[in-house]
């Protein structure tokens, strides 16, 4: 009986994902069909073709990410200094931040920050969180990133705090559910991927948020 329950829970989870995917794919399909109709009728063809390409890209990404959901995450680990990885990632995101009129402040730690991690994947996690923070700030906010190590538990804490729109309790509860998004052209795949990457590193993620105040992400990773 236990077994059956688990199986049917799995099936309904897959069903929910499928419904989410179908919903997400129906929107770009509807607009593509509409645009091809317009292409037949008038002469803004380049503009329509650009939108069609962008919508097709979006659908391709959705399907790729859906397929990768079921697969185990394979880590390609190397020794890495997290002070450096955070600094590099912030540098990468700074021009994007300037566009949003956002200042990113970083507080590194003098303590030991070496971890044995998949550098590219952890960088992807940091980029995802910083992107979400930027998108939560309409204009003229700031993002604080702080690193701390706990030598007792041999862990590193990476805190990413924004003063953006924040989330309701309900929204916070939905975080990590594939395809959960409140954005018009969001995929809702950023956080599920981040959770998966951090868990496969035996790390943890804690998210605190308050509507209208901002959001604080706490990433915890084991040090070597």
Q: Which residues bind ligand ADP (CB under 6 A)?
A: 128, 132-133, 136, 162, 164-167, 171, 175, 180-183, 186-191, 215
162 binds, among Mg ion, ligand ADP, none (CB under 5 to 8 A by kind): ligand ADP
187 binds, among ligand ADP, Mg ion, none (CB under 5 to 8 A by kind): ligand ADP
Looking at the Cβ atoms of 80 and 136, the one nearer to ligand ADP is: 136
In degrees and rounded to multiples of 5, residue 58 shows phi and psi of: -60, -45
Q: Which two tokens stand for residue 40?
A: 């037949």
Query: Where does this chain bind Mg ion (CB under 5 A)?
Result: 132, 190
For 141, the 3-state DSSP assignment is: coil
Closest CA to 27 of 47, 44, 51: 51
Tell me the residue nearest to ligand ADP as measured from the CB. Answer: 190
For 171, the 3-state DSSP assignment is: helix
Q: How many CB atoms lie within 10 A of CB 87?
A: 15
In this structure, the chain runs to a length of 224
Looking at the Cβ atoms of 26 and 183, the one nearer to ligand ADP is: 183
Q: How many CB atoms lie within 10 A of CB 69?
A: 15
Looking at the Cβ atoms of 166 and 203, the one nearer to ligand ADP is: 166
* CB 160 to ligand ADP: min, Å: 8
Looking at the Cβ atoms of 192 and 203, the one nearer to Mg ion is: 192
């Amino acid at each position: 009986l236990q077994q059956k329950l688990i199986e049917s829970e799995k099936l309904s989870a897959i069903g929910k994902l499928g419904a989410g995917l179908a919903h997400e794919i129906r929107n770009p399909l509807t607009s593509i069909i509409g645009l091809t109709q317009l292409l037949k009728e008038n002469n803004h063809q380049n503009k329509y073709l650009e939108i069609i390409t962008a919508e097709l890209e979006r659908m391709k990404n959705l399907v790729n990410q859906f397929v990768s959901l079921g697969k185990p995450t394979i880590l390609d680990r190397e020794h890495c200094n997290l002070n450096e990885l955070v600094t590099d990632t912030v540098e990468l995101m700074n021009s994007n931040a300037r566009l949003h009129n956002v200042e990113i402040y970083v507080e590194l730690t003098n303590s030991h920050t070496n971890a044995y991690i998949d550098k590219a994947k952890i960088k992807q996690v940091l980029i995802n969180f910083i992107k979400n923070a930027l998108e939560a700030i309409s204009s003229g906010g700031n993002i604080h990133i702080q690193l701390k190590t706990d030598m007792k538990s041999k862990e590193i804490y990476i805190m990413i705090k924004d003063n953006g729109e924040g989330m309701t309790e309900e929204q916070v509860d939905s975080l990590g559910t594939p395809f959960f998004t409140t954005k018009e052209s969001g995929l809702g795949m950023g956080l599920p991927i981040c959770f998966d990457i951090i868990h496969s590193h035996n790390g943890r993620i804690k998210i605190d948020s308050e509507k209208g105040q901002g959001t604080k992400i706490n990433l915890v990773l084991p040090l070597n």
